[in-house]
Every structure is written in structure tokens, then in C-alpha cells.
């Protein structure tokens, strides 16, 4: 089930009178407490973050939602995730850091709260939410060499001719159910210029140094793939590649033309 942190919550349309009457509600701010100050790099905007987290309603002890050691949360830090208070509260964290973020109702799920599809209340109206977040890292492309290949190494401006398969990958970098979302077929190949062509950044980073005959597996985090936007499928109304997706590719370099 997709994390509620990654869901947008409804915009509340309130009368001017009600807004004035609830001025304190609207002016509430996120409170931050660093439990552990990390020693790694500062988490960057527009980069992928991998975190462990719990989300607990103020006054309760059991989280209503949390990540696990086997499946941390990976997302692009571009303020596109909700609730707003979570996005605000994580800014400035360092890798290895742990932070407690207290999010007031107006920056969490507000006067609507959250119910499941059966109408059961998960987060009540006007609830303050306590997030505890640990920044594990900022993933980059993971390359696994299957076959080394031979000849000159691929570099910027070289024309690469490749065969490939693209898979969805879980947060640990494991292929999920083997579903292929894109691939070359038969003897057909795909050509692109390294560092120049309009392909996802993860390909440019992941295929530098490859040789003719190289076979590699690439695990590409969201910000080096299709980020927060994914690839819409306008026929179905859904997505061919969902937002925040980590992608896996098996790539074979068929030929390299030096630039």
C-alpha cells in the first residue's frame, strides 16, 4: 500500500469568517527536535532520500504508519510529498541524523483527517502528528557488471547502441515481480549519445566506462529516473511509471561510436 506520506490531502475551502475565527490554527508552525545530528552530507533538494520513519498521533504511543528495516521510504525531496509539515520538517537534515518533527493539524491532515476505504478513522480530525525520521542516505546509481566487454571505454559524447530491459525495483534494490515496463525487442537496439541525449540521468551516469559487449544491471533512484512526476498513461488515466519509482535496467552495450 502506498504510503500516506506520499498522498496529497484535500484543499479545504473555508469562509473568510471561519479563517479569521481560527487564526491560531492557521498560524501554527512545525516544531523540530534533532535527536541525533548526522555527520554525513546535508540532504539535498531535488535529490532522492531514503529514510526510516514513524508517524504517531500526539497523545498515542503506537504509530499509525511506519517504514521497516526491509523497506525504508524512498522519495524525491522537492516539497511534492505531503503532509506539508513533513516536507518542511526534514529540510537541513544530514545523513545519519534522527529528527522528531511535530506537525500541527493545519500542516498535517487538518479538519478532514484520514479514513480508510471502509470509513474507519486512521487519523482523526485536527490531529497533531509526531514524525520521527532517520535519514539513511541519498541513493545514487548502483552498477553491477555482469560482463566486462572489450575495447575503448564509453565517455561523454560517445554514441552508444544498446539492448535493454526496464523493471520496477523495491526500496532495497530488488526486482519486484519481474514485470518489464519497457524493453528493446528482437535485434532492435536503442541509440543515444552519452551526456547529451534526452534519456534519464541514471543512464548517463550508469553507462560511463562501459565497453562494447558490456552487460550491466543499473538500479536508478527516483531523482535520476522520472522523479516526482513519473510517466503518465493518458489512455488508462494512470501511470506507465509511477511517481517516486526506483527503476532497474539490464543493459547490453552492442556498439560504441566514439564522439
- Give the CATH number of the domain where residue 197 resides: 3.10.50.40
pLDDT at 56 > cutoff 60:
yes
* Three-point CA angle 46, 51, 52, nearest 5°: 160
Q: Residue 7 — pLDDT band, cuts 50, 70, 90?
A: very low
More confident residue, 28 or 6: 28
My answer on whether 182 and 77 are in the same domain is no
| H runs (alpha helix) in 191-230 | 201-206
* Confidence (pLDDT) at 162: 97
Q: Model-level pTM? A: 0.69
* Confidence (pLDDT) at 26: 59
Q: Of 117, 137, 157, which one is at a domain's C-terminal end? A: 137
My answer on whether 35 and 121 are in the same domain is yes
Q: Residue 175 — pLDDT band, cuts 50, 70, 90?
A: low
Rounded mean pLDDT, 53-72: 93
Q: Residue 15 — pLDDT band, cuts 50, 70, 90?
A: very low
% the chain with pLDDT above 70: 86
Dihedral over Cα of 230, 173, 79, 124: its sign: positive
My answer on whether 101 and 162 are in the same domain is no
Q: Of 137, 172, 187, which one is at a domain's C-terminal end? A: 137
Amino acid at each position: 500500500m502506498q504510503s500516506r506520506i506520499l498522498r496529497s490531502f484535500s484543499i479545504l475551502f473555508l469562509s473568510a469568517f471561519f479563517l479569521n475565527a481560527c487564526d491560531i490554527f492557521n498560524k501554527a508552525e512545525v516544531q523540530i527536535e534533532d535527536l541525533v545530528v548526522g555527520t554525513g552530507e546535508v540532504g539535498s533538494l531535488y535529490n532522492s532520500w531514503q529514510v526510516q520513519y514513524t508517524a504517531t498521533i500526539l497523545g498515542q504511543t503506537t504509530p499509525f504508519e511506519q517504514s521497516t528495516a526491509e523497506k525504508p521510504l524512498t522519495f524525491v525531496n522537492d516539497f511534492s510529498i505531503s503532509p506539508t509539515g513533513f516536507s518542511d520538517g526534514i529540510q537541513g537534515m544530514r545523513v545519519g541524523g534522527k529528527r522528531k518533527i511535530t506537525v500541527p493539524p493545519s500542516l498535517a491532515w487538518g479538519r478532514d483527517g484520514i479514513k480508510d476505504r471502509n470509513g474507519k478513522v486512521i487519523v482523526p480530525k485536527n490531529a497533531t502528528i509526531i514524525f520521527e525520521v532517520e535519514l539513511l542516505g541519498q541513493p545514487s546509481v548502483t552498477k553491477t557488471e555482469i560482463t566486462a566487454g572489450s575495447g575503448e571505454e564509453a565517455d561523454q559524447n560517445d554514441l552508444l547502441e544498446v539492448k535493454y530491459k526496464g523493471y520496477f525495483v523495491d526500496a532495497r534494490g530488488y526486482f519486484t515481480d519481474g514485470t518489464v515496463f519497457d524493453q528493446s525487442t528482437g535485434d532492435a537496439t536503442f541509440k543515444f549519445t552519452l551526456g547529451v541525449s534526452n534519456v534519464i540521468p541514471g543512464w548517463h551516469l550508469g553507462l560511463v566506462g562501459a565497453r562494447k559487449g558490456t552487460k550491466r544491471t543499473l538500479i536508478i533512484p527516483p531523482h535520476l529516473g522520472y522523479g516526482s512526476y513519473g510517466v503518465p498513461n493518458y489512455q488508462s488515466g494512470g501511470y506507465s511509471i509511477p511517481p517516486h519509482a526506483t527503476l532497474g535496467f539490464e543493459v547490453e552495450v552492442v556498439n560504441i561510436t566514439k564522439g
